Chains A and B, each alone.
Chain A
Amino acid sequence: MTPVFEAIDLNKSFGGVAALQAASISVEHHRIHALIGPNGAGKTTFFNCVSGHQQPESGKVLMNGVDVTGAPPYRMAELGMARTFQNVELFPAMNVLDNVLVGDHLEISEGPVAAMLRLPRHRRSERRARSRALAALERTGTAQLAHRLAGELPYGSQRLVEIARALVGGPSVLLLDEPAAGLTAGEADILRELLVAIAAEGSAVLLVEHDMRTVMALAEEITVLDAGRVIAVGPPGQIQANPVVIAAYLGVGAEESGEVAGS
């Protein structure tokens, strides 16, 4: 089976710093794949290079086996990729429901004239989008916030709303950059259940996360980055036992590994 999403040998440097060195990953439908590594390992850069927000210097990005390297973010969205950002990027002046509706932008196909005239078919599209958005909010446990301004929400709620925005369009690949950072224990539970459900429905989930409990509990496959290089790939049991990983990452202190990092 062709992986739904694949990145091969991505290279990216900032000035002299090599943020990614031949970094590769391959994710499949129905799977939760975790990307872990110490701070500065290049995880966020990896996301940016595959979502089109940054251009890799070399390497390939494939969606369903098709080469889409260098495609801009809206193109990746059209191809079924959705993502969240490490530093939550909501639209602060819009309410929560409208924020999530932006995630459904591509599902409303009517043009500006239809929108200006409020044609019946546009109204129907809007209504359908609205109920999808509310369902997405429901799934993230934030439906009661629908009419609050996004900028006024506590950090944890903002993260959940951002996840709702990413999943409302039914992405085939979902990239989450530290989604559990700043969540309360209750919110983190909702998140874990949600990710399992999303994967069960068929999406491929690529998860950057410092909370090892979440990673070990959810991921079927883990890729470990260190200084821009992939130092290990495998199921959680193997990764935990891998001496290279322990030295580079878990070796920082086994106790620390359980905490919610992302300071």
Chain B
Amino acid sequence: MTRSLGAPEGTARDGSGRSPLKKVLVRGADVLRGHRDGLAPAAGMVVLGIGVLTMPAWLPATGFLTLTDGVLAGIYTLLGIGMVLLLGYTGQLALTVNASYGIGAYATAILTVDDRIDPWLAMLVGIVVNIVVALALAFPLFRLQGHFLAVATLGVALMGYTVFEAAPVTGGSNGINGIPTLSIGSFHFVSDMAWTYLVWVIALAALLACRNLVTSHFGRAMLAVSGSEAAAESSGARPFWIKTLVFVVAAALSSVAGSLYASYAGFVSSSSFDLTLTLTLLVMVVVGGLRSLWALPFGVLGILALSAALQTYGPSVIPATGSDIPIVGYGVILILFLLVVPGGLASAGRWCAGQAGRLVARVAATPATQPAGGLYGTASSESRP
């Protein structure tokens, strides 16, 4: 989606008869300042792709992260996407992620543990179950607004956890053991490296698809619903359906995350699906930026890194702290970010890009005071407000 029509204030239009370098600069400035987003997704994908491809090198090099964190980061990213869409874009504080994650995980665990059915098929079953459950929940839940919705969804979250703990098929806190791994043809995903790549291919595909969704009329309707339901509805966007759509997408992605987790870990128990997960994700999403899909992986990795670092170095710095120290840290980070950078890393990044863009635009607008054939080409000065 380019924004070449109707150049906004301060946008340098591509003039003809200008040097190619200047054109590139002008375009680059627009992209950096967010006036054109044609390149942003491609750039985001490239940066994230390189980051993921090189994970086997840089994760262990940190000294406190391992490739397991790489796999977990992909899984958390899949879970976080739903939260970004629900909270960030649609403004719905729906906190049922642990339940949908659990449904996916248990679908895979229960259906594949004795090699009953193919794990990929089990993943599909999990998605279908999750979609049905999400649709069934949407009808009562999205009659509620604001705090009422949040409280009701917390009720659902607790119910989900209780079922996972108490239902005869889930093994409760003893869990289910011996879940087979995924395979494609004769290739079995065993090594952490293979798993990292598998999980991230799926996570990046989901990020791209959801980024397409949020820049479409659906994404605008989501933001509209969070801005003014009355105005959204009289524009023809049905708040109920928009919320339900987002809820279903979030549930499906969480389901995939749950299935991947079960196949990767080979073991699931109810303790993976309590509200600590929800809180952890909330922190990751806030740190990345509530309304940014591209920044989500950075929020996820940042928090994973911080919690690993705290567990590794914490006890030597502050004695008598155990494994609970990350949870305490989460609370502090959550409050700090909400107070200081409510837009998260994304807004910080956008600010930096905007500054850089302004700089580039200024360079591009400089008249040719350079010697002939110099850096800035022909004299076609850009009048800027």
Interface set of A (CB-CB < 8 Å, partner B): 51-53, 72-74, 76-78, 81-83, 85, 89-94, 97-98, 101-106, 108, 110, 112, 115-118, 122-123, 125-126, 129-131, 134, 137, 143-148, 162, 165, 169
Contacts and interface: CB of A to CB of B under 8 A. Distances in A.
B13 interface: no
A105 B220 contact: yes
Interface of B: 1, 3, 5-6, 8-9, 11, 34-35, 209-210, 212-213, 216-218, 220-221, 223-224, 226-228, 230-238, 245, 249, 291
> A-side binding surface: helix, strand, loop or mixed?
helix
Contact of B212 (A85, A91, A116): A116
B216 A72 contact: no
Given A76-B234, A112-B249, A115-B213, A126 B221 contact: no
A146 B6 contact: yes
Given A144-B8, A144-B9, A105 B234 contact: no
B227 A90 contact: yes
Contacts of B245: 112
Contacts of A131: 5
A105 B213 contact: no
5 contacts: A52-B233, A112-B218, A126-B216, A147-B8, A169-B235
Contact of B209 (A82, A83, A116, A125): A116
Contacts of A92: 227
Contact of A103 (B6, B210, B212, B235): B235
Contacts of B210: 116
Given A117-B212, A126-B216, A147-B3, A53 B230 contact: yes
Contacts of A102: 217, 220-221, 224, 231-232, 235, 237
A72 B220 CA distance: 20
Nearest to B209: A116
A48 to B, nearest CB: 9
Nearest to A94: B223
Nearest to B33: A147
A92 to B, nearest CB: 6
Contacts of B34: 147
Contacts of A146: 6, 8
Nearest to A175: B234
Given A112-B249, A115-B217, A129-B217, A91 B224 contact: yes
A144 B221 CA distance: 23
A117 B209 CA distance: 6
B227 A126 contact: no
B219 to A, nearest CB: 8
A73 B220 contact: no
Pairs of residues from A and B, 10 with the lowest C-beta to C-beta distance, nearest first: A91-B227, A147-B8, A115-B216, A77-B236, A89-B231, A106-B236, A73-B233, A116-B209, A108-B217, A89-B228
A130 B5 contact: yes
Contacts of B35: 147
Contact of A137 (B6, B228, B237): B6
A70 B234 CA distance: 14
Which of A76, A91, A130, A162 counts the most chain B CB atoms within 10 A? Answer: A91
A53 to B, nearest CB: 6
B9 A126 contact: no
Given A73-B233, A98-B223, 8 more contacts: A92-B227, A102-B235, A105-B236, A116-B210, A126-B216, A126-B217, A143-B6, A169-B235
A94 B235 CA distance: 15
Contacts of A144: 8-9
Nearest to B238: A74
A114 B220 CA distance: 15
A74 B228 contact: no
Contacts of A106: 235-236
A235 to B, nearest CB: 30
A101 B227 contact: no
A99 to B, nearest CB: 8
A118 B291 CA distance: 20
A44 to B, nearest CB: 12
A6 B76 CA distance: 54
Given A92-B227, A94-B223, A123-B1, A53 B209 contact: no
A165 B230 CA distance: 14
A52 B233 CA distance: 10
Given A93-B227, A144-B9, A147-B9, A78 B217 contact: no
A148 B35 CA distance: 10
Contact of B233 (A72, A104, A115, A123): A72
Given A90-B227, A126-B1, A130-B5, A77 B234 contact: yes
Contact of A74 (B6, B218, B236): B236
Given A77-B236, A91-B227, A126-B216, A105 B221 contact: yes
Contacts of B232: 91, 102
Contacts of B212: 115-118
Contacts of A73: 230, 233-234
A98 B233 CA distance: 15
Contacts of B233: 52-53, 72-74, 77
A92 B91 CA distance: 13
Nearest to B291: A93
Contact of A134 (B5, B221, B228): B5
Nearest to A131: B5
A192 to B, nearest CB: 24
Nearest to B234: A73
Given A102-B235, A105-B236, A147-B8, A94 B213 contact: no
B251 to A, nearest CB: 14
Given A108-B217, A123-B1, A91 B6 contact: no
